[in-house]
Amino acid sequence: MKKTIISLAIITLILACKTETKDDIEVIEQPIETIKKSTKELKEELTAKGFELFDYVDEKTQDTVIMQKYFIAFLKKGPNRSQPEEEANKLQAAHMAHLGKMYELGYADISGPFEDDSDISGITIYNVPTLQMADSLANADPMVKAGRLVIEMHPWWAAKGFSLR
């Protein structure tokens, strides 16, 4: 159990620290000031992909802030937690691989376990346009398929591009 918690903490730290994805990097030969997309361009791109958005003007900075709907999957303890230790360890490895793949594909922005002993084991924040897509990706997790975890999904709004502090 201790190894699992340490492994989850390390993966979470790695995923939380990564701030760019392959879609964020464009190699173009233009002055640096023209590389950043305008608010209008970003809104058009996200809307075309099916994301729900709204925006507001920050009174202090006068910047337009785009709010995007994300989906938070609460990973809760499931009904089938009686697997032998070897099988549980294999499921944990497959679970971590699944979360890593979700991050690499740009479907999940952050994942991590909770430290307390509650029924909620952890969360994953999905960066996809629909609840159905988030639910499908979360339920494809080997730990969920095996019944060790169950998913409770909630829509969540956050400012696009803001980082953790």
Domains in the chain (CATH in brackets) are 2-159 (3.30.70.1060)
8 A C-beta contact, residue 73 and residue 126: yes
What the block records as the tokens of 74 is 């609460």
pLDDT under 70 in the chain at which residues? 1-35
Q: How many CB atoms lie within 10 A of CB 32?
A: 6
Q: Looking at this protein, which amino acid is placed at residue 60?
A: K
Residue 35: predicted pLDDT: 61
Residue 28: predicted pLDDT: 41
Burial of 148 from C-beta contacts in 10 A (0-12 / 13-18 / 19+): buried
Residue position matching structure tokens 């699992």: 4
Measured in residues, the chain has a length of 165
Residues 157 and 48: their CA atoms lie apart, in Å, by 18
Residue 18: predicted pLDDT: 47
Q: Is 114 helix (H, G, I), strand (E, B) or coil?
A: coil
State how far the alpha carbon of 145 is from the alpha carbons of 16, 53, 64, 125, 128, in Å: 25, 32, 42, 19, 21
The model carries a pTM of 0.75
